[in-house]
Amino acid sequence: MITRRTLALAGGALLAMPSLARAQAWQPNAPIRIIVPFPAGGTTDILARLYAQRLTETLGVSVVVENRGGAGGSIGADVVAKAGADGQTLLFHNLTFSTTTAALEFVNRAPHSIERDFAPITLGANVPMMLLVNAQVPARNLTELVAWAKAQNPPAFYGSTGPGSTINLIGEVLKRDGGFQMEHVPFRGAAPLVQEMLAGRIAFGGDQLSSSLPHIRAGTLRPIATLAAQRARALPEIATVREQGFPNAELLGWNGFFAPARTPEPVLARLHAEIAAAARHPPLAARITELGAEPGGNSAAEFGASVHAQIAAVRPLVRELRMTVE
């Protein structure tokens, strides 16, 4: 029996068909590159490879990860900004995208703009950024880190994933607000930074939780704060920077997909549909959760708005601290 509910459901299905058809219209006919603007081994690289494996299965073409590290992620990002707008080259970046962009703008050397040159696709995962010390540093929170750093002569070293990167910004904010000194040592990505921290040559730094969690569990790196607004589910005992009196260091950790800005809407729609479906795929979602992250898959508008809001928040800090990207 046909009822009003039946007709309403049928009408809704018909209305959904054009958007579904648009999402399915484009089919890649060559391998897709996902550019990760950091060396292999960090959280962004790990997540990109998980997505690449699933997308290879669902898109019917090879989806490969290419690491193009350097300049806090801006070198790899520029590769994608200048790539063909055909859906064959994507960028998988993280929250450092906002800080390096602001730093490049500050010195009038920005080769690209997130707003002008990239089309946001969707969030891959939210990953808490943890502030860490090596096992030889006695600090277990930010107050103890500040006291320890003030007692060091000459100053200790802190590491980041490059000039203008998130941890470079946070390191300078903590130095300013805590009234202590540390010397900055830039690296090309989180993996080499973590190796130097494990070796004891770098006292303090930061990494996304997914790639640092094994070292935290082994006791070779000690977390002392998270940048997020809430404590990490995997480490609920570690307080946030705001809880520890450093609200200016609070930043949302994210990893997400972008395409070149001129990519046609049907291509973006198909990519969004496939990536969002991958984020909901139970084995992939479970693996992301195991890494201490939260799977993404939100709308392009939601993802873009959160990234642009973060850029607006960090620009004043970058200018005040006179940060640059070399």
What is the structure's pLDDT at 285? Answer: 97
What is the structure's pLDDT at 163? Answer: 86
Over its length of 326 residues, how does the chain's per-residue pLDDT go in tens digits? 444 444 344 444 444 444 444 445 799 999 999 999 998 988 999 999 999 999 999 999 999 999 998 887 889 999 999 999 999 999 999 998 988 888 888 777 778 889 899 999 999 999 999 999 999 999 999 999 999 999 999 999 999 988 888 999 999 999 999 999 999 999 988 889 999 999 999 999 999 898 899 999 999 999 999 999 999 999 999 999 999 999 999 999 999 999 999 999 999 999 999 999 999 999 999 999 999 899 999 999 999 999 999 999 999 999 999 887 76
Same CATH fold, 129-249 and 30-126+254-321?
Answer: yes
What DSSP state is assigned to residue 168?
H
| Run of H or E residues at 100 | helix 96-106
Provide the residue ranges of all domains of the chain, joining segments of one domain with +.
30-126+254-321, 129-249
Nearest to 296, CA basis, from 151, 70, 135, 124: 124
What is the structure's pLDDT at 24? Answer: 56
In the chain the beta strands, taken as DSSP E runs, fall at 32-36, 63-67, 89-94, 118-126, 129-134, 157-160, 183-186, 204-208, 221-226, 254-260, 294-295
What is the radius of gyration, based on Cα positions, of the chain?
21
Task: In whole angstroms, give the CA distance from residue 270 to residue 268.
Answer: 6
pTM attached to this predicted model: 0.85
What is the CB neighbour count within 10 angstroms for residue 68?
A: 18
Please give the CATH superfamily to which domain 30-126+254-321 belongs.
Bordetella uptake gene, domain 1 (3.40.190.150)
Among all chains, which residue has been given the structure tokens 């590159």? 33
Task: In whole angstroms, give the CA distance from residue 300 to residue 272.
Answer: 8
Task: In whole angstroms, give the CA distance from residue 81 to residue 269.
Answer: 19
Task: In whole angstroms, give the CA distance from residue 226 to residue 253.
Answer: 10
Architecture of domain 129-249: 3-Layer(aba) Sandwich (3.40)
What is the structure's pLDDT at 13? Answer: 47
What is the structure's pLDDT at 108? Answer: 75
